[in-house]
Amino acid sequence: MSERTPARPRKLTTSSPSVTPLKSRTLTLKMRHYFLLLLSLSILFLYVFLSPTTNPNPSPDPNPRVPKIYVYDLPTKFTRGVVESYAAARRSEVVKYPGHQHSAEWALLEDLGRADRAGSPVERTPDPEEADLFYVPFFSSLSLNVKPVRPAEGEEGMNGGYSDEQMQEELMEWLERSEYWKRNNGRDHVFIAQDPNALYKVIDRVRNGVLLVSDFGRLKGDQASLVKDVILPYSHRINSYNGEIGIENRPSLIFFMGNRYRKEGGKVRDTLFQILENEKDTIIKHGAQSRVGRRMASQGMHSSKFCLHPAGDTPSACRLFDAIVSLCVPVIVSDYIELPFEDVIDYKKIAIFVDTDTAVQPGYLTSLLRGISTEMILNYQQELKLVKHYFEYDHPNGTVNEIWRQVSSKVPLIKLMINRDKRLVKRGLDDPDCSCLCTKVNGTTIQG
């Protein structure tokens, strides 16, 4: 037999033999954890960066749905009949909608009647079942002014039977029989009431709808709001200035022409007249709307650097928009004014705002305006030139299109309120509807 080779003694280590497998298992677990973490991060990366549904900056829909609007076929007494009554009250043989500062109601209906409405923010539909909005084309402002302020001799016999209050009542009686009015309590209906007193008798019956108004001066907080309604510009009554910016042809510092004596918030006018009428380089005139007056106003605005806009019977007036299209920098002295299209126009770039108490301090306004540099005036004029198309009712991409864009933006809120109404179990007619931003004479507040 061969001799057996003696076994070599094992070399002792500082570690116990039983520790090695445990360490191996620990390393394996750590590797597995690292692997799972890496896998989780990879999946998260793929989900966040490759999933189209979670793109934080999704591309806008190239073909967003245009809201559809249905135009009520009202009895003619509410449309052409109002125009005829207006002409008859003035013994005019020409029956056409007259040009005046509240003529937006005519411009909107005329636009809705065009055959080619490509590019409009709203699409007219002949089918009320598919409509998102319902337009009520009552000439409410013209109806209010059918009777002349000073009727001609014999006018009572010719047109004494016309009553705007009766027309408002008859309109609501007709409208409230409509199934589409009843369906959503009028929330999806659009009314134009540009004159501050238009629809005054039935305003509480139409307050759920979208109101197209010039300001909130005579409306309560539960009748109108910046959220559901649209502020319209008055139609300017003087010719637009089509020249270039500059001050060479504008020798006058400040211009104002209008009624000196007004009630309510317009009392500031008389004070401003007293302060400014004898100032150098200022043109301050008392005058009412007339053909001659408009020519004088056009000449005055086109040759002045600044145009004064004090409050009248209501916070807003057409001369503000006359100034804008004249590139005459508006100086607005009105503490509670609302302005149209403020989501696209920054009025601080085109106008100067002065509170009433400050404006009536002797010497303040002229000192302020004389201290504005030529460069700053040119900046104001340039900004006015960029936005003046928003105040041109006959511009192809002007006031009318912007009004419809504003109206179309109300559709999501209208749908929200309609759905909300459906699930409310009980609420009285006089209970507050805490869902809107309201403007009152003491400022703007949020209800809710």
Please write the tens of the pLDDT for every residue from 341-393: 999 999 999 999 999 999 999 999 999 999 999 999 999 999 999 999 999 99
The pTM assigned to this predicted structure is 0.80
Residues 96 and 216 in one domain: yes
- Contact, 281 vs 255, CB < 8 A? no
* Average confidence (pLDDT) over 106-124: 95
Residues 257 and 132 in one domain: no
For residue 35, is pLDDT > 90?
no
3-state class (DSSP) for residue 67: coil
Residues 267 and 183 in one domain: no
The b-or-e profile of 229-259 (16+ CB within 10 A means b, else e) is bbbbbbbbbbbbbeeebeeeebebbbbbbbe
> 26 or 68: whose pLDDT is higher?
68
* C-alpha span between 307 and 328 (Å, rounded): 6
Say which residue the tokens 């005055």 belong to: 300
Please list the residues that pair with 225 across neighbouring strands: 438
Residues 295 and 327 in one domain: yes
Residues 360 and 414 in one domain: no
Residues 257 and 216 in one domain: no
* C-alpha span between 53 and 59 (Å, rounded): 11
* pLDDT (tens digit per residue) in 293-340: 888 999 999 999 999 999 876 778 889 999 999 999 999 998 889 999
19 in a structural domain: no
For residue 213, is pLDDT > 60?
yes
275 band by pLDDT with thresholds 50, 70 and 90: very high
Alpha-carbon distance values, 51 to 46, 48, 54 (Å): 7, 6, 6
The residue range of the domain holding 372 is 252-391
Residues 74 and 215 in one domain: yes
Structural domains counted in the chain: 2
Helices (H) and strands (E) in the chain, counts: 16, 13
For residue 114, is pLDDT > 80?
yes
Residues 89 and 114 in one domain: yes
370 in a structural domain: yes
Residues 145 and 97 in one domain: yes
48 in a structural domain: no
- Contact, 71 vs 126, CB < 8 A? no
398 in a structural domain: no
Residues 386 and 259 in one domain: yes
- The per-residue pLDDT for 416 is 94
Single out the residue of 231, 409, 401 nearest to residue 321, CA to CA.
231
- Contact, 316 vs 338, CB < 8 A? yes
* C-alpha span between 290 and 295 (Å, rounded): 9
Residues 212 and 299 in one domain: no
* pLDDT (tens digit per residue) in 414-447: 999 999 988 877 655 555 555 554 444 434 443 4
- Contact, 272 vs 296, CB < 8 A? no
Single out the residue of 146, 50, 133 nearest to residue 411, CA to CA.
133
Residues 122 and 269 in one domain: no
Q: What is the 3-state secondary structure (H, E, C) of 110-161?
A: HHHCCCCCCCCCCEECCCHHHCCEEEECCCHHHHHCCCCCCCCCCHHHHHCC
Please give the backbone phi and psi of residue 297, each rounded to the nearest 5 degrees, phi first.
-65, -40
Q: CATH number for the domain including 327?
A: 3.40.50.2000
